[in-house]
Amino acid sequence: MLVDYHIHTKKCGHARGEMHEYVEAAIARGLPEMGFSDHMPLPYLPLDEEYVMPAARFPEYLADAARLQEKYPRIRIRLGVEADFIPGYTEQLVQILSGYPLDYVYGSVHFIDGWLHDDSRFIDGYQRRGVDNVYRDYFRLVQEAAESGAFDILSHLDLVKKFGFRPQRDIRGLLEETVAAVAESGKCIEINTSGLRKPVKEIYPGRELLELLFQASVPVTLGSDAHAPEEVASDFDLAVALLRQVGYRRIATFRRRRRYLVDL
Ligand code: ZN
Ligand code: FE
Ligand code: FE
Ligand code: ZN
């Protein structure tokens, strides 16, 4: 069984397509289950209008997902969010999240000290800070995000490779530390196929990292990070092939923030 849990919508300001169009795309792809995970508005985010959903839109997002589940009984529709990890705000985040009937919460490290490292407008930061430093800072934040316990799924675990910048230093130790932190947290990661549509042209996480995660028994779920309806479940054949090669036979699904493993 396959799911696509990483789906954005027009409501965040930089994705295309209404929510029902994503549902119809998921049905057309034959998915038995899908989930929305749009960028969640958070009061302490260094905000950019077209980066997360405006706060006023969030109730509508929740209501629309519930309405769509009634309208499309042939697919299970889960409701999640993608939330940014910003150090020092865990308590506030946990408090905010507890007020909503969410099935799962993705945790993402998009910001390194206020720098949006995955936005091509600010790509000069890699040279300015030095790629090795960026990798170190990024993975330390991922470790902190895991340790925070605030998230059910850690998003695109090696997102820092998005533009194809590779470290000069050997980062095996950094990856091992990261995997240990994720395993210790008891949380889940995702296979995110959007990297194939980015300059790096690689799934997140890459094979070496995924092998370490498998050895550490970290569960995995599946997401396309769709920002357009036609991207739903994109390249899932490659994702499943990679999972199987590495040894995974089950994926994680979520309901009301509880995790269930199902056969691939
Ligand atoms: Zn987005
Ligand atoms: Fe993201
Ligand atoms: Fe996303
Ligand atoms: Zn994402």
pLDDT at residue 51, rounded to an integer:
84
Q: How far is the CA of 8 from the centre of ligand 3 (A)?
A: 6
User: So what's the pLDDT on residue 108?
Assistant: 98
| Bridging pattern class, strands 220-223 and 188-192 | parallel
- 244 CA distance to ligand 1 centroid (A)? 28
pLDDT of residue 75: 98
**pLDDT score for 46:** 74
For the chain, the structural domain boundaries read 3-263
DSSP-derived secondary structure for 37-94: EEEPP-TTS---TTTS--GGGHHHHHHHHHHHHHH-TTSEEEEEEEEE--TT-HHHHH
Beta bridge partners of 34: 4, 77
Whole-number pLDDT of residue 69: 96
Q: What residues pack around ion ligand 4 (CB closer than 5 A)?
A: 155, 225
pLDDT at position 52 is: 87
CA of 215 to the centre of ligand 1 (A): 30
What is the predicted pLDDT for the residue at 63?
96
CA of 18 to the centre of ligand 4 (A): 18
Predicted confidence at residue 253, as pLDDT, reads: 98
Return the structure tokens found at 46: 């260094």
Cα of 36 from ligand 3 centre, angstroms: 10
Distance 225 CA to ligand 1 centre (A): 8
- Ligand 1: distance of its center to the CA of 69 in Å? 23
Distance 38 CA to ligand 1 centre (A): 7
**Given the DSSP bridges, would you call strands 188-192 and 153-154 parallel, antiparallel or unpaired?**
parallel
Q: How far is the CA of 39 from the centre of ligand 3 (A)?
A: 7
3-263: which CATH number, 3.40.630.40, 2.40.30.20, 3.10.20.30, 3.20.20.140?
A: 3.20.20.140
The residues near 132 (Cβ < 8 Å, ≥ 6 apart) are 167, 168, 169
Ligand nearest to the CA of residue 53, numbered in listed order: 1
* pLDDT, mean of each 10-residue run, the chain (264 residues): 97 95 98 97 81 90 96 98 97 97 97 95 97 98 98 98 98 98 98 98 98 98 98 98 98 98 96
d(CA 143, CA 43): 23
Query: Cα(109) to centroid of ligand 1, in Å?
Result: 12
Q: How far is CA 115 from CA 81, 85, 134, 144, 228, in A?
A: 21, 13, 11, 17, 25
- Cα of 39 vs centre of ligand 2, distance in Å, is 8
Ligand number nearest CA of 51 is 1
pLDDT value of residue 45: 87
